[in-house]
Structure 1
Amino acid sequence: MELRHLQHFVAVAEDQHFTRAAERLMVSQSGLSASVRALERELRAPLFVRTTRRVTLTEAGRALLTEAERILDRVRAAHEAVAAVQGVLRGTLSVGAEQCIAGVHVAGLLAAFRRLHPDVEVRLRQAGTDALAEEVAAGRLDLAFGVRTRTDHDQLRSVSLTSEAMVVLCRPTHRLAVAGAAPTPADLAGETFVDFHPDWGPRRTTDAVFVTAGVRRTVALEVNDVFSLLDLVEEGLGVAVVPRHFRRKRETLTALPLEGAGETEYETVALLPPPQATSPAARALMGLLDTPSGHSVAGSRSPAGAT
C-alpha cells in the first residue's frame, strides 16, 4: 500500500467524483482510477459504489477513510516536525475558536503568527467548545481556544488563559437596571432569556450557575452569534447572562454583577493534544502568547497552567 494510493482514495471520497478529484490532484483520471483499483485489489474489497453521476463509499470504504486520514495527518506531521528541526515551519496550522473569547485576540494572534511563519497555511474554524474539543482530539485541529466546562476531555491538555465574572445584560430601562442592585439567580426567575446554543461555553457556564442556585430558567431566544444576542437584548426582547467583556461590545446596555454565582466563572482555555502529539506550528502559536510580541494580541492573562 503506497501513500499516493491513500491520497487518491481520500480525494475521491471527499469529492465523490473521480473527474473532480483528478483535476484537484492534477493527475489523469485513468491514473486515479487505476490507483483506487489497485488499493481495492490489495484490500480485497470494493471501496466505492460507482454511478454515472457520483461515487459513494461502501462500508469498507468508510472504515478505510478514517484510518487513511489519520495516516496522512501523521505523515504531514512528520514532514512538519523535520522542517521545524531545520528551523523552518511549513505545512498547515488549523485553529478552532469560540466567538469573542476573552484572554486572546484570535485575529491578531494569527496575523502575528503568519508574519513570523509565512510558509504555514493558517486555517480557522468557529464552533462551540465541545465540538472544537472533539476536532482537536480527532487530529483535525491543531489546537482550539474555548471555555473550560464540566465536560472532561481526557485526551487533551487545557491551558488557562484568563477568567472573568458573569454579568446580567439588559436595557437601561429594564427593571433590573432601574433598581441598580446586583441581582441573584432567584431575582431572574420569570425573565425571558437570550442565550447561545447549548454547546457554547457561555451557555454552559450560565446553565451551571442556575443549576447550582436551584433556579429553573428557560431560554426563549437562542442564537449562534454574539451580535444577534446583543441586538435582541438591546431591543428589550430578553436579558442575557454573559461574560463581563461582552459589555464592551455594546456600551448602550447595562451590565449588572450576578450575585450568588459562587465560584462559577467564565474561564478561557487553550485545548491542545498531549505534548508528543502537539504540532510544531501549534507550539509556535502558543509560544507567541508568552512573548512581548504576543502581549498585544493576547489580552490580559492569568498565569498559564496545564491540566
Structure 2
Amino acid sequence: MELRHLQHFVAVAEDQHFTRAAERLMVSQSGLSASVRALEKELGTPLFVRTTRRVTLTGAGRALLTEAERILAQVRAAHEAVAAVQGVLRGTLALGTEQCIAGVDVAGLLAAFRRRHPDVEIRLRQAGSGALTEEVAAGRLDLAFAYRTRGDIDQLRSVALTGEPAIVLCHPGHPLAAAAAVAVEELGGEVFVDFHPDWGPRRTTDAAFAAADVRRTVALEVNDVHSLLDLVGENLGVAVVPRHFRHKRPSLTALPLKGTDETVYRTVALLPPPESMSPAARALMALLETDGG
C-alpha cells in the first residue's frame, strides 16, 4: 500500500468527486482513478459507490478513511519532526476553535506564532466542540480550543484554559430584566435563543438545565454569536451564555444565573496523544503558556 494511494483516496472521499479531487491534487483524473482502483484491488473490496454526479464511501471506505487520515497525519508529523530537529519549523498548523472562545485570544496567538515561525502554514477551522473533538481525534486537526462538559469522554488530552459562570441575556424590556438574578427554575417557560447542539455553550447549558431537572425548549437556533445577540436584542427570546458574552452587546441586560455551579463553562485546549502531537502544535502550546494567549 503506497502513501500516494491513501492520499488520493482521502482526497476523493473529501471532495466526493474524482474531477474536483484531481484538480486539487494537480494530477490527471485517469491517474487518480487508477490509483484508487489499485487500492481497491489490494484490499479486495470497493471503497466508493460511483454515480454520474458524485461518489460516496462504502462501509469499507468509511472504515479505511479513519485509518488513512491517521496514517497521513503521522507521516506529516514525522516530516515536521525531522525539520524541527534541523532547527527549522516547517509544515502546517491545523487549528480548530469555537467562536468567541474564552481564555485565549486566537487571532493574537496566531499572529505571534506567525512572527516566530513564518515557514509554517496556518490553517484555521471554526466549528462546534463536538466536531472539533472528532477532527483532533482523527488527525485532521493538530489541536483545538473548545468547551467541555463534565460528561465528555476523555478520548483526548485536555489543558484547562479558563472557566466562567453562566448569565442570562435578555432585552431591557423583558420582564426578567428587573431582577437582580434569575434561578434556573424561573426559566422553564421562557423562549430560548441558543446555538446548534454541537456547540460547546449549548451542550453545557443543556447539561446544567438537565442537572437542575428543568426542561427548556430552544425555539430559535443559530450558528453564530452575532445572530444570537440580534435575536435577543429584538426581544424574541432569552439566552443563557458564558459571562464574557455580555461585553459584546452592552445594550442587553445581563443577569447572574442562580442554581448552577460557579464555573459552568470550561474552555480547554484539546490535544492528541503526545506521540502524535506535531512540532507546530507543541510550539503553539508553548507560546500560549508563555504569553497567556
- Whether these two folds match at TM > 0.5 is yes
Contact 1:146/1:201 (<8 A) preserved: yes
Distance 2:162 2:14 in 1: 38
Q: In structure 2, the residue corresponding to 1:191 is in which secondary structure?
A: coil
Cα–Cα, structure 1 residues 153 and 85, in superposed 2: closer, same or farther, change >3 Å? farther
Shift of 1:90: 1.6
Give, as a single letter, the amino acid of the residue that structure 2 aligns with 1:287: A
Give 1:72's aligned residue: 72
TM-score, with normalisation over the residues of structure 2? Answer: 0.88
- % same residue: 80
Give 1:140's aligned residue: 140
User: Is 1:267 the counterpart of 2:266 in the alignment?
Assistant: yes
Q: After the TM superposition, which residues 156-175 of structure 1 pair with which residues of structure 2 at under 5 Å, given as runs?
A: 156-175=156-175
Contact 2:163/2:263 (<8 A) preserved: no
Give 1:188's aligned residue: 187
Give 1:213's aligned residue: 212
Give 1:123's aligned residue: 123
Distance 1:38 1:228 in 2: 48
Shift of 1:100: 0.8
Give, as a single letter, the amino acid of the residue that structure 2 aligns with 1:141: L
Give, as a single letter, the amino acid of the residue that structure 1 aligns with 2:170: C
Cα root mean square deviation, aligned: 2.4
Give, as a single letter, the amino acid of the residue that structure 2 aligns with 1:94: A
Shift of 1:255: 0.9
Of the structure 1 ranges 273-282 and 204-213, higher mean CA displacement relative to structure 2 is found in 204-213
User: Is 1:154 the counterpart of 2:138 in the alignment?
Assistant: no
TM-score, with normalisation over the residues of structure 1? Answer: 0.85
Cα–Cα, structure 1 residues 76 and 218, in superposed 2: closer, same or farther, change >3 Å? same
Distance 1:96 1:192 in 2: 31
Cα–Cα, structure 1 residues 236 and 88, in superposed 2: closer, same or farther, change >3 Å? same
Shift of 1:284: 0.9
Give 1:242's aligned residue: 241
Shift of 1:56: 5.2
Give, as a single letter, the amino acid of the residue that structure 1 aligns with 2:75: V
Cα–Cα, structure 1 residues 19 and 225, in superposed 2: closer, same or farther, change >3 Å? closer
Cα–Cα, structure 1 residues 48 and 275, in superposed 2: closer, same or farther, change >3 Å? closer
Contact 1:185/1:210 (<8 A) preserved: yes
Give 5+ residue unaligned stretches, structure 2: none
Larger Rg: 1 or 2? Answer: 1
Distance 2:13 2:211 in 1: 47
Q: In structure 1, the residue corresponding to 2:219 is in which secondary structure?
A: strand
User: Is 1:225 the counterpart of 2:224 in the alignment?
Assistant: yes
Q: In structure 1, the residue corresponding to 2:124 is in which secondary structure?
A: strand
Contact 1:155/1:274 (<8 A) preserved: no
Shift of 1:218: 1.9
Cα–Cα, structure 1 residues 137 and 194, in superposed 2: closer, same or farther, change >3 Å? same
Distance 1:21 1:94 in 2: 20
Give 1:87's aligned residue: 87
Contact 1:168/1:239 (<8 A) preserved: yes
Q: In structure 2, the residue corresponding to 1:290 is in which secondary structure?
A: helix
Shift of 1:45: 4.2
Distance 1:27 1:61 in 2: 21
Shift of 1:160: 0.7
Distance 2:12 2:124 in 1: 24
**CA shift digits 1:217-247 (9 cap, x unpaired):** 2222221111111111111111111111000
Distance 1:210 1:219 in 2: 12
Give 5+ residue unaligned stretches, structure 1: 299-307
Q: After the TM superposition, which residues 47-62 of structure 1 pair with which residues of structure 2 at under 5 Å, given as runs?
A: 47-48=47-48, 57=57, 59-62=59-62
Cα–Cα, structure 1 residues 210 and 32, in superposed 2: closer, same or farther, change >3 Å? closer
Distance 2:174 2:52 in 1: 62
Distance 1:262 1:33 in 2: 56
Q: In structure 2, the residue corresponding to 1:289 is in which secondary structure?
A: helix
**CA shift digits 1:153-178 (9 cap, x unpaired):** 33211111111111111122222222
**CA shift digits 1:192-236 (9 cap, x unpaired):** 221112222222222233223332222222211111111111111
